[in-house]
Amino acid sequence: MRKTTSGFTIVELLIVIVVIAILAAITIVAYNGIQNRANDTAVKNDLATLRKKIEMFRTTNETYPYSGDLDSLGYKASKSSYLIDPSFGNILYCYSYDPGNTMYAIGAVSKSGKNYYAALNSAVQEYAGPLSFKVNACDSLATITGLTLTRSYAGYNPSDTVTGPWRTWVGQ
């Protein structure tokens, strides 16, 4: 009399494991793509909101804000959608330091690695080149936008509890 045992062979188990691994890989890639698009959308919306607040400031004060005026805008950013450099912040604001402060540009880098900017009379746009947040950051925005921007910057860093969310950078 033969005893029959039922069960899966090692080959069948390996095939099932491989199929599950393939499905998991597809799901992770799809999720990352959705998450990157969500971060990009949040950054674009934040920059559009900031641009509107800057334009409202201009309407009220007849000048664009200087870095010391940025706290008065009441701006809040979607902190989790940005690449954050703790020493420099994550949203760049550059302006012309001329009488009347007639030009400005803003820029940010999404967690997906895409660069976005908006400037005087322009909507938020993607920029394919590098956007530096170091000392020459306004030079990058000036090149992108074609505006004459001084080396005056402020960065938005919502976790900065010492100087507030807007900070003045070195090189002003």
Instruction: Tokens 């900070």: give the residue.
Output: 167
**Distance (Å, rounded) from C-alpha 35 to C-alpha 137?**
27
Please give the angle made by the CA atoms of 96, 76 and 48, to the nearest 5 degrees.
Answer: 60
Tell me whether strands 153-156 and 91-95 are parallel, antiparallel or unpaired: antiparallel
- Residue range 28-43, pLDDT digits in tens: 888 888 899 999 999 9
Q: What pLDDT sits at residue 5? A: 72
**How many residues belong to the chain?**
172
**In this model, does residue 90 exceed pLDDT 80?**
no
Give the global pTM: 0.73
